[in-house]
Chain A
Amino acid sequence: MGRYVSRRLLLLVVQVILVATVVFLLIRLVPGDPARAILGETASEEQVARVRTLLGIDRPIHEQYVSWIGRVARGDFGTSVISGRPVMLDIQQRIGNTVELIALSTIVSLLIGIPLGIVAALRANRATDYALSSFAMLGLSLPSFVVGTIMLLVFGLMLRWLPPAQFVPWYVDPGQHLRVIILPVIALSLSSVAVVLRMTRSSMLEVIRQDYIRTARAKGLSGRLVILRHALRNSLNPVVSIVGLELAALLGGTVIVESIFNWPGLSSLLIAGVRSRDYPVVQGVVLLIAVLTVLINLLVDLVYGWLDPRISYA
């Protein structure tokens, strides 16, 4: 396994460089002069020249590329054209809020999705299963911004159970912080709950048809014990791989959920960057999210192999 891990780590470096290359090329997609696009038609030539220097696009492209990769490797994502602050500083201040949303949503989707999936499998093709499967289909079909906005209307404005979208840091008021995080977590995790539920159900259905489950039952073990000790363990492998994909999806989902609930995470930084054409900010946030996605996928592959010894590392 050691050799497999080191090979995957090497591959990781290549992947990160490729991802950084794509993000570098992004600014080249901008039609015309990016500096002119940022400043608008009224800006003077000197202003445009200054922004061109700031973006580094006044140099030949190969020089720009080498310097970009070098800076990224040192964790330097450049300086915001609008605020003049280092992009990395803004990211550091906000990433915790985004990670908190994702971590809580992952926990929620596992804690709710797996038990519901087991129940659906054990009651397969009966009313409970149909109800749960319909719920899952609904969860997959309703976009987070629709769910989030409707919850804001119902629980925030009409029932007034929960405070409307107003972020409170945990160190200011932990209780209030927990209350404001409930709705974003529900909106973000709904589709993941659905995916985990469906995956657990189908994987569980496959496992409980196996011979060794029949054997376990035949030797007189109670139904619950067979499910928990024998069936669950083996049916969770596909769930682990789907959780990896879901983590990446959640990372994308935060972009929308954060903007509904005014959550000061990476997304508000990204959206503000897009609106003001602040390319270093957009590049920095996109690169960070892509690198995190690649890391998550690697981690899931490793956990997957560790859980299921049948997977070879050849």
Chain B
Amino acid sequence: MTATPVTAPTAIASQGWRRGAGPAAVESAWRRALRNPRVSISAFILLLIAAVSFGAPVLAPYSPTTLTDMPLLPPSSQYLLGTDDFGRDALSRLLYAGQISLGVSIASVLIATVIGVWLGLLAGYYRGWGETIIMRAMDLLLSFPTIVLAIAIVSALGISLQNVIIVIAIVYIPRFVRVVFGATLAVRQSEYVQSARVIGAGDGRILRTAILPNVAAPILVQTSLSLGFAILVETGLSFLGLGAQPPTPSWGNMVSAARNVMELNPWLLIAPSAAIGITILALNTLGDGLRDALDPRLRS
């Protein structure tokens, strides 16, 4: 007999993710969420921003770091956003900066998701002293304001892009642990987990096949919202000079660099500001839409 009974939580899924929502529920929720025009537009905008950022090597008209012309030229057909105070093409820098800002945020949220999900699963499934240690450690991390904790760790590890990724991951692990811990507690006594145990599935198998798919929905929502926050932290650190180091462009250090010359070419400030605002707005709208679609109690 194969383990098919273990992956049959769809009946429970329709009751919403607090009680456990399986992959099928996540899929139908995606479809439900995408029917909401605000969500589909946000998803489209995000794909577009990701495409132009990661396509920068092909799309950018100039190199982001070489001095191509006179400094502070106004926008023209040759330089759509003008040139910055070093005479570099602002549009090319904006595209490459997106690669850094999005790349750092995606990498750090991925790390936070993987570590946070497993810690949350272990704490919620095994309970006991493991739960106490993990959850109290997370409370401790949460007692520091996000950006202050990030700055503190950067100051110790040293300023580099790799360290920024590590820092943002550490800062966001507790959020994933909490979400997954709560969801795991809710499903660990459910009938399908019990029946999986009865047919002899080991703990690892139960965690992977019975519990993880059923806590997938809140993880998805948390990932979408965390990406927005991660961009906030990454751009904030770069703005303060603690993230991507010049000449490497990042949306945050572009805003910071524009401060001294913004009267001469306001686009140097407006373009990266808009990129940051639109990306976070789209991620927040997407996260809100997914949450509404996945949590039936909030659906109107």
Contact = CB atoms under 8 A, between A and B. Distances in A.
Interface of A: 15, 18-19, 22-23, 26-27, 29-31, 37, 137-138, 140-143, 145-146, 149-150, 152-153, 157-158, 248-249, 251-253, 255-256, 259-260, 270-271, 273-275, 277, 279, 282, 286, 289-290, 293-294, 297
Interface of B: 140, 143-149, 151-158, 228, 232, 235-236, 239-242, 252, 255-256, 258-259, 262-263, 266, 269-270, 273, 276-277, 280-281, 284-285
Nearest to A142: B277
Contacts of A277: 155
Contact of A153 (B149, B153, B157, B269): B269
A275 B273 contact: no
Contacts of B151: 255, 270-271, 274, 282, 286
Given A18-B140, A158-B263, A30 B156 contact: yes
29 contacts: A19-B143, A23-B152, A30-B157, A137-B281, A137-B284, A141-B277, A142-B273, A142-B280, A143-B235, A143-B239, A143-B277, A145-B235, A146-B255, A149-B259, A149-B273, A153-B263, A153-B269, A157-B263, A252-B148, A255-B147, A255-B240, A271-B151, A273-B155, A274-B151, A274-B154, A277-B155, A282-B152, A286-B144, A286-B149
Contact of A150 (B144, B145, B273, B281): B273
A27 B262 contact: no
Nearest to A285: B148
Contacts of A282: 151-152, 155
Residue of B151, B154, B258 contacting most chain A CB atoms (<10 Å): B151
A274 B155 contact: yes
Contacts of A256: 147, 236, 239-240
Contacts of A19: 140, 143-144
A contact patch SS: helix
A282 B242 CA distance: 14
B145 A141 contact: no
B144 to A, nearest CB: 5
A31 B269 contact: no
A146 B273 contact: yes
B120 to A, nearest CB: 21
Contact of B148 (A29, A30, A31, A286): A286
Contacts of A140: 280, 284
Contacts of B276: 142-143, 146
A290 B148 contact: yes
A291 to B, nearest CB: 9
A153 B262 CA distance: 7
A300 B252 CA distance: 33
A290 B255 contact: no
Contacts of B266: 153
B236 A143 contact: yes
Nearest to A150: B273
B170 to A, nearest CB: 11
Contacts of A279: 155-156
Given A23-B152, A248-B145, A279-B156, 7 more contacts: A26-B152, A138-B277, A143-B235, A252-B146, A282-B151, A290-B143, A293-B144
Contacts of B143: 15, 19, 290, 293-294, 297
Contact of B156 (A29, A157, A253, A289): A29
Contacts of A293: 143-145
B289 to A, nearest CB: 12
Contacts of B263: 153, 157-158
B156 A26 contact: yes
A289 B144 contact: yes
B32 to A, nearest CB: 19
Contacts of B156: 26-27, 29-30, 279
A180 to B, nearest CB: 17
B264 to A, nearest CB: 10
B259 A143 contact: no
A121 B285 CA distance: 20
Contacts of B148: 251-252, 255, 270, 286, 289-290
